[in-house]
Structure 1
Amino acid sequence: MTTDVHEPSGAPEPVLPAGQDHPSGHGYGPRKDEYLKRLRRVEGQVRGISRMVDEDQYCIDVLTQVAAATKALHAVSLGLLEDHLGHCVAEAARESGETGDDALVRAKVAEATAAIARLVR
């Protein structure tokens, strides 16, 4: 099994002006199909790993495939985080600048920080 994992682009998708968000309302909306494709690939990898265990494959080979699936999920996670920062946090910062109330941006940053903490555990 191989993985075709793309690392986060380094350049976030353009943030749409307020009121012109993707129909989903989420930062990952423009890349939703890409994420679904990646997740389907991971799903196939996990089914393959299960089959390997069922067929009593060599443990190191199974671990290699677990590592590949884990790396693929991490790539999805990092992309989603990048989208959250580039869309949701950026939108909160814009709104904060307009209203003078930074509570929303603090909440979005705290949300992102908690997500990062979950990823690095």
Structure 2
Amino acid sequence: MEKNAHSMVSQRNKQDLLNRMRRLEGQVRGITKMIEDDRYCVDILLQISASRAGLQKVGLSILDSHTRGCVTSAIKENRGDEMVDELIDVLDRFMK
């Protein structure tokens, strides 16, 4: 199965993900400005932590869609082992 064969992200979920990513872009620009402005290190670290948590939430949402959509479909089509292997691989990479 091609990795880009289909997307199971709903339009509503897609818009939510795009909104979250735009907020994260703003957060990262804010961190850059904090560094430029010589802000307190702890404040910068807290913003970095918040950005990482936001990215994790986006990733988990996409992982949820993938599992409920692509993996479930593959299991119904008797291609479950292949998709479970892919899922394990992606989880391994995602958790690093």
- 2:92 maps to 117
Q: Distance in 1 between matches of 2:94 and 2:42?
A: 25
Runs of 4+ in 1 over 4 A off after TM superposition: none
- Tell me the TM-score normalized by structure 2: 0.88
Residue 120 of structure 1, CA deviation: 1.4
From 17, 22, 26, the counterpart of 1:44? 26
- 1:99 maps to none
**1:40-92 CA distance string (max 9 Å, x none):** 11010000000000100000000000000000000001111110000000000
Q: Distance in 2 between matches of 1:46 and 1:65?
A: 8
Structure 1 unaligned residues grouped into runs of 5+: 1-23, 97-103
Residue 113 of structure 1, CA deviation: 1.1
From 20, 26, 30, the counterpart of 2:7? 26
- 1:21 maps to none
From 65, 70, 74, the counterpart of 1:88? 70
- Identical positions, percent: 35
From 49, 52, 55, the counterpart of 1:73? 55
Q: Distance in 1 between matches of 2:51 and 2:16?
A: 16
Q: Distance in 2 between matches of 1:63 and 1:52?
A: 10
User: 2:29 is paired with a residue of what secondary structure?
Assistant: helix
Q: Distance in 1 between matches of 2:14 and 2:6?
A: 12
Residue 26 of structure 1, CA deviation: 0.5
Structure 2 unaligned residues grouped into runs of 5+: none
- Tell me the TM-score normalized by structure 1: 0.71
Q: How does 1:93-108 map to 2 (within 5 A)?
A: 93-96=75-78, 104-108=79-83
- Higher share in helix: 2
Q: Distance in 2 between matches of 1:113 and 1:54?
A: 40
How large is the RMSD of aligned CA atoms in angstroms? 1.3
Number of paired residues?
A: 91
